[in-house]
């Protein structure tokens, strides 16, 4: 498995919460939700996947535009965003500077109106399990995340709890790469098993 592959996933945030002082709260990831990724495989984030994840320095952006100044940041000191893990998933609670930052104010108002209706997160995987890799649409279960670098408020979620949009070509290409690598590893394992069987058979025939 390529643990260095940088991946993003998005969810429709029907439960966005806003307060008058500029606070935005919502889920960047949801547990136990089956999602079709690019038409290649289904993906499920297992409960507990974030338990050992590095969340020490996470930025909040809009539409993953990391070229812009972050709207909030979760870190060990002077944090303007908190990240908690509950029974539903990965919850972010960010305080935007709507008084002094015009972009933050615009984002806050867009969330409040419902124009921005999705949350997304960018991550690296530590441990995963593939099921039915030989089938047309296998399933990947994410057991452990290695690190989350960034969360974003998005205008067009990559998928609304069910499927990744084909318009997000980079994500779809990554999905294809991930599946091809998993199937390659499976084939290599089968090949090694056959070699071992032949070796055992040869040894028995000799003696």
Q: Which of 84, 102, 85, 101 is nearest to 93 (CA)?
A: 84
Q: What is the mean pLDDT of residues 60-86?
A: 93
Strand partners, 151: 60, 121
The model's pLDDT over 96-108, given as tens digits with 9 standing for 90+, comes to: 999 999 999 999 9
The model's pLDDT over 104-143, given as tens digits with 9 standing for 90+, comes to: 999 999 998 888 888 889 899 999 999 988 888 899 999 9
Lowest mean pLDDT among 9-13, 145-149, 168-172: 168-172
Lowest mean pLDDT among 56-60, 67-71, 79-83, 153-157: 153-157
More confident residue, 173 or 82: 82
CB-based contact 120:64 (threshold 8 Å): yes
What DSSP string runs through 57-111? SEEEEETT-TTSPPSEEE-SSS-SEEEEE-SSEEEEEEE--TTT-HHHHHHHHHH
Q: What is the mean pLDDT of residues 57-80?
A: 93
Q: How much is the pLDDT for 161?
A: 46
Q: How much is the pLDDT for 173?
A: 61
Cβ-proximal residues to 105 (8 Å cutoff; 6+ apart), any chain: 22, 96, 98, 99
Q: How confident is the model at residue 166 (pLDDT cuts 50, 70, 90)?
A: very low
Q: What is the mean pLDDT of the chain?
A: 82
Q: Name the pTM for this structure.
A: 0.74
Q: How much is the pLDDT for 47?
A: 96
Q: How much is the pLDDT for 106?
A: 94
Q: How much is the pLDDT for 10?
A: 75
Q: How far apart are CA 42 and CA 188, in angstroms?
A: 22
Lowest mean pLDDT among 27-31, 60-64, 169-173: 169-173
Q: How confident is the model at residue 183 (pLDDT cuts 50, 70, 90)?
A: confident
Percentage of the chain exceeding pLDDT 70 = 76
More confident residue, 166 or 145: 145
Residue ranges per structural domain of the chain = 7-206
Query: Taking 70 as the threshold, does the pLDDT of residue 170 lie above it?
Result: no
Q: How far apart are CA 94 and CA 114, in angstroms?
A: 17
């Amino acid at each position: 498995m390529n643990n260095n592959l940088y991946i993003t996933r998005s969810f429709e945030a029907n439960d966005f919460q806003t307060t008058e002082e500029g606070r935005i709260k919502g889920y960047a990831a949801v547990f136990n939700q089956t999602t079709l990724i690019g038409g290649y495989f289904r993906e499920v984030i297992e409960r507990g996947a974030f338990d050992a994840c590095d969340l020490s320095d996470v930025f909040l952006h809009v539409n993953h535009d990391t070229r812009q100044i972050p709207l909030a940041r979760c870190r060990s000191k002077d944090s303007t965003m908190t990240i908690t893990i509950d029974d539903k998933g990965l919850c972010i609670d960010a305080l935007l500077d709507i008084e002094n930052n015009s972009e933050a104010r615009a984002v806050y108002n867009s969330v409040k109106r419902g124009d921005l209706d999705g949350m997304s997160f960018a991550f690296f995987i530590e441990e995963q399990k593939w099921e039915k890799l030989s089938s047309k649409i296998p399933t990947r279960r994410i057991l452990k995340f290695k690190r989350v670098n960034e969360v974003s408020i998005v205008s067009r979620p990559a998928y609304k709890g069910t499927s990744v949009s084909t318009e997000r070509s980079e994500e779809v290409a990554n999905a294809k790469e991930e599946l091809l690598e998993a199937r390659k590893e499976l084939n290599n394992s089968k090949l090694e098993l056959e070699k071992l069987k032949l070796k055992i058979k040869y040894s028995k025939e000799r003696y």
